[in-house]
Amino acid sequence: MDNAVKALIDRIANEASRGATQEKETMLLLLGLDPRSEETAHLIETARAFARQASGGRARLAGAIGIDLHSCQMNCKFCSFGEAWGLVKEESILTEDQVIAMARAYVEAGVNMVTLRSTEFYDLNTICSWLRDIREQVPGKYELNLNVGELTPEMAHACYEAGASSAYHVLRMREGIDTPFKPEIRVRTIQAIVDSPLKFNTCIEPIGIEHTDEEIADRMAFALSCHPDSVGIMPRVPVAGTPLGDIEMISRDRMRQMAAILRLAAGRNVKYITMHPDDELGLEAGTNGFSVERGAVPRDVEFSDGEWKGLTAKRAVEILRSAGYETELIDCDPRFRKDASWWRPHGATEAETPSIIGEDGVEYVRRDGQRIKMKVSGKQTVG
């Protein structure tokens, strides 16, 4: 083993334990290591040990509900939903009752964060009405996370008032090249989330063999600069029929290496580091998050009535516990009462709960008893 590299890794771990985060240049050095080298093995072992310290033995178990399986006009080159690829043969959209039932099943199985995921232009007003109903009909200590389209600051606040705890958004690999989105539009939504009461969750994705160390380090540094609650690592899963479908998937060894780098680089400032969909492998490299999915999955062309790839929430809990992690939330959303029930923001009645689009077609959000007028967003355009 190279003693200089070992000393670097040990220094990073020491700094991480004192709350420091690492600069892009340090992450770039670690990304340059051979994923199968002794040095990387030491990196992974160090990250795994540090994860226990940073997390306090707590893990996030996220249960994603893909609301709508249908063709998307954005045509991101890695996504199975792209309208231009013609892969979605049968469209499926969940009803509110189905979403609530899935959320209830997740929470009862031990999930501590329920994610509602939609395609870019699904109606956010509908999702917000579901958030309120989920909070009232699904008891328990859990977070409600959104993975939706672009958000304005007003929309982010409206989501929080409706019951969301957090939102997930990503400046993806080669944004603007493999996607039609201008990077600044993605960044604008991230800023809207960060500036709102919502917690911010993000990811380095979708990573493939085509991406350079420089590109990966740049995205890692950007993600950490946004002070997220969680950061994930996700590979580009090749989907046959998409423009990137013939490019092989990145190796599991490389994924473990990147997860370990991210864990140490984040220090104690990021609660949860995840690696999906190979979540169990990630635990070996210092992750403390796990995800299960149902419904529409953008790495597949068929609707998943059960958990995607057969990984159930119950099994995920077992895996996390065997790795020494507990999933009960200790820093639950402050809007929960001690009995884990939910109350409306600011004591609002049904008629006062926040709406995003009023009857006159203008957006409104209720905050602190005030009604704020906003411009209509409708289907947002990018570019």
Is 304 a domain residue? yes
Residue 123 sits in which domain range?
A: 53-322
The per-residue pLDDT for 334 is 72
Rg (CA), the chain: 20
Q: How far apart are CA 177 and CA 215, in angstroms?
A: 13
Query: What residue ranges of the chain have pLDDT lower than 70?
Result: 306, 308, 330-331, 337-383
Inter-residue contact 60 to 320 (CB < 8 Å): no
- Give the DSSP H/E element, type plus range, for residue 369: none
Say if 278 falls within a structural domain.
yes
Nearest Cα neighbor of 368 from 344, 350, 349, 345 is 345
Give the pLDDT of residue 307.
75
Q: Is the peptide bond before 334 cis (omega within 30 degrees of 0)?
A: no
Residue 72 falls inside a structural domain: yes
> Is the N-terminal amide bond of 206 cis, ω within 30° of 0?
yes
pLDDT at position 299, please?
83
| pLDDT value, residue 352 | 45
Query: How far is residue 240's CA from residue 86's CA, in Å, rounded to a whole number?
Result: 11
pLDDT the model gives residue 340: 63
**What's the start-to-end Cα distance of the chain, in Å?**
49
Handedness of CA 330, 331, 336, 342 (dihedral sign): negative
The answer to whether residue 308 is domain-embedded is: yes
- pLDDT tens string 90-114: 889 999 999 999 999 999 999 999 9
Q: Is 15 exposed, middle or buried (0-12, 13-18, 19+ CB in 10 A)?
A: middle
Which residues in 254-380 belong to E strands, given as ranges?
272-275, 289-295, 363-367, 370-374
The total of structural domains in the chain comes to 1
The rounded distance, in Å, linking the Cα atoms of 292 and 279 is 9
- What CATH number corresponds to the domain at position 115? 3.20.20.70
Does residue 98 lie in a domain region?
yes
Domain-embedded: residue 24 = no
Return the H-helix or E-strand segment holding 91. Answer: none
- Closest residue by Cα to residue 153 from 370, 374, 350, 327: 374
In the prediction, which pLDDT does 383 show?
32
Which helix (DSSP H) or strand (DSSP E) does residue 207 occupy?
strand 199-207
In a domain? residue 38 = no
Task: Give whole-number Cα distances, 347 to 47, 342, 364, in Å.
Answer: 44, 11, 18
Query: 81 lies in a domain?
Result: yes
